[in-house]
C-alpha cells in the first residue's frame, strides 16, 4: 500500500529525473496499480484522481483526496484547487 504522498513523489520524480511527461507519469503509476502488485492506500478514488486531467494539478488533487479520506477539508489560497469539492478558498 502506498500513500498519496509517495504517489506524488513518484510522479514528480518520473518527470524531473527521468524526463517523463505528466501524462506518461500518470499512466505509469496507473499501470503499476493495475498490475495488482501495489495498491493506493486510499483505494480506488486515487486511481480516479490519476485519470483526471483538468483543473487543479495532480498534487493538489492528491492532497485534497487524502484530506477527504480523513474527513477533513483543505484550506487554500489557490483558486484552481479551491474548485475541488474537498477544498475551501480562504478569503483575503
pLDDT the model gives residue 10: 97
Cell of 21: 511527461
Question: Could you say which DSSP state residue 2 is in?
Answer: B
The domain ranges of the chain are 4-89
Each residue's pLDDT expressed in tens, for the chain with a length of 92 residues: 999 999 999 999 999 999 999 999 999 999 999 999 999 999 999 999 999 887 899 999 999 999 999 999 999 999 999 999 889 999 87
Using the 8-state DSSP alphabet, how is residue 3 labeled? -
pTM for this model (two decimals): 0.91
pLDDT of residue 92: 77
CA 37-23-52 angle, to 5 degrees, is 80
Q: What is the DSSP string of 12-72?
A: HHHHHTT---HHHHHHHHHHHHHTTSS-BTTTHHHHHHHH--SSS-HHHHHHHHHHHHTT-
Amino acid at each position: 500500500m502506498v500513500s498519496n504522498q509517495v504517489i506524488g513523489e513518484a510522479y514528480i520524480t518520473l518527470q524531473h529525473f527521468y524526463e517523463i511527461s505528466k501524462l506518461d507519469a500518470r499512466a505509469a503509476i496507473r499501470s503499476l496499480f493495475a498490475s495488482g502488485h501495489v495498491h493506493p492506500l486510499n483505494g480506488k478514488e486515487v486511481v480516479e484522481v490519476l485519470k483526471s486531467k483538468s483543473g487543479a494539478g495532480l498534487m493538489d488533487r492528491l492532497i485534497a483526496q487524502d484530506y477527504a479520506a480523513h474527513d477533513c477539508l483543505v484550506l487554500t489560497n489557490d483558486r484552481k484547487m479551491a474548485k475541488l469539492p474537498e477544498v475551501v478558498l480562504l478569503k483575503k
